[in-house]
Amino acid sequence: MYDEELTTLMIPGPVPIHPRVYRAMSRVIYGHRTKEYQTTYKETVGLLQRLLQTEQDVLLFAGSGTAAMEAAIANAIEPGEKVLNVINGKFSERWQEITTAFGAKSELQEVTYGQAASPEAVREALASDASIRAVTICHNETSTGVLNPAKEIGQIVRDYDRLLIVDGITSVGGDYVYPDKWNFDILVTGSQKCLGVPPGLGVIWVGSRAWKKIDTRKQPNPTYYLDLVKAKKRYDSFGDSPFTSAVTLMYGLHESLTLMFEEGYEQRIERHRRLGRITRAGYLGMGLDLLADPAFYSNTVTAVRYPGGITDKEFRNQVRNLGILIAGGQGPVKGKIWRTNHMNICTERDVLATIAIIEVVLKRLGYDVPIGSGVLAAQEQMLKESY
């Protein structure tokens, strides 16, 4: 029987939270303008800068990762400017929706779901249209399980002296993301994915080239709450945010980042990659097909195609009733795939339990899977891994 409090979250966010993070969030709330809170705030920003290996500005908003995405477009792009929105999934599509919402012109570069964005296609678009002022991509496309070649795209966009605006919502904290080295201009992320905190914090890294564009915009900034200039001035002067902070979430983020560095940054990234390999081995061992191009597998989320005769609603309901919550597909792959995460505090135990439950449900629903085949393949992959 489904019991929400006993269910293992294997959706790609929100993710399970470490008990230490919960305990940190249960602290007595400081006033958000006190020196005590400002100390925590500044330490948290410092930890984020350490995570991203940067000395550039990192700003936080009480809001989801989408709020940070909106801040990026609203501040750095003016109405009438053209933006190349590279779309290979539902979340990269969100960049296009925000672009048009703020009056800019969207130039679409659409890629088949499951395929990665093409650096050469970006180069061709920039070479053929000098009016494009910025490019948007989703680094880790959560809806398809594809890790886009952000570093390569970053170099090309920089070669053409355009801005690159990147969604790192399911990569920051779970995979390598180096905005300075990779020639990003703006990078956004959110609290409820690899950063391992409940939903409600939007994080935005802003590089020097983006600040130059923001500071010299000709038209008034269309935002009030998400005004990056206002946020930077407040942080530089007082070490906090211009409006009321999500105090308990900041406590949680501070603790979660502390945990990351206790584990070790390299060790954390390798753990995510190892879990990705084990997850994929388990699914392939059941004879299932993955959505993503094997050359661009995500290290934090895997998308699996439904075998013939299996319906999304019945399948995911039965998996949930056995204690595992997984996600379905979105956009053109809705009803055609399911998705599971391997991020933040996910372990081999969680992956093996998920694969075992999925085997049982597929068998019940008529898919001819030898019971134990997926678990065995995942275990064999574990034996190949270094610990």
- 365 and 346 in a common domain: yes
- What is the distance between the alpha carbons of residues 381 and 385, in angstroms, rounded to a whole number? 7
Q: What is the mean pLDDT of residues 377-387?
A: 96
- 196 and 331 in a common domain: no
Q: What is the mean pLDDT of residues 292-301?
A: 98
- What is the distance between the alpha carbons of residues 173 and 201, in angstroms, rounded to a whole number? 14
- 180 and 231 in a common domain: yes
pLDDT at 357: 98
In this predicted structure, the answer to whether residue 1 has a pLDDT above a threshold of 80 is: no
Q: Collect all residues with Cβ–Cβ distance below 8 Å to 198 and sequence separation of at least 6.
A: 14, 17, 25, 191, 192, 249, 252
Q: What is the mean pLDDT of residues 44-49?
A: 98
Of 206, 239, 261, the position where a domain reaches its end is 261
**CATH code: domain of residue 377:** 3.90.1150.10
Average pLDDT of the residues of the chain: 98
- 280 and 242 in a common domain: no
Using one digit for the tens of pLDDT, what is the confidence trace for 196-247? Answer: 999 999 999 999 999 999 999 999 999 999 999 999 999 999 999 999 999 9
- 271 and 255 in a common domain: no
In this predicted structure, the answer to whether residue 336 has a pLDDT above a threshold of 90 is: yes
In this predicted structure, the answer to whether residue 2 has a pLDDT above a threshold of 90 is: no
pLDDT at 56: 98
In this predicted structure, the answer to whether residue 154 has a pLDDT above a threshold of 90 is: yes
- 307 and 169 in a common domain: no
Instruction: Judge contact between 48 and 188, C-beta under 8 A.
Output: no
Q: What is the mean pLDDT of residues 163-170?
A: 98
Q: What is the mean pLDDT of residues 365-382?
A: 97
Q: What is the mean pLDDT of residues 130-143?
A: 98
Range of the structural domain that residue 227 is part of: 19-261
- 240 and 142 in a common domain: yes
- 314 and 239 in a common domain: no
**Per-residue tokens: 349:** 């135990």
- Percent of the chain past pLDDT 70, that is, above it, reads 100
In this predicted structure, the answer to whether residue 159 has a pLDDT above a threshold of 90 is: yes
Q: What is the mean pLDDT of residues 130-156?
A: 98
Using one digit for the tens of pLDDT, what is the confidence trace for 52-94? Answer: 999 999 999 999 999 999 999 999 999 999 999 999 999 999 9
Q: How many domains does one find in the chain?
A: 2
- Output the CA–CA distances (angstroms, integers) from residue 11 to 7, 173, 325, 347, in the order listed: 11, 17, 6, 14
- 177 and 156 in a common domain: yes
**CATH code: domain of residue 189:** 3.40.640.10
- 368 and 347 in a common domain: yes
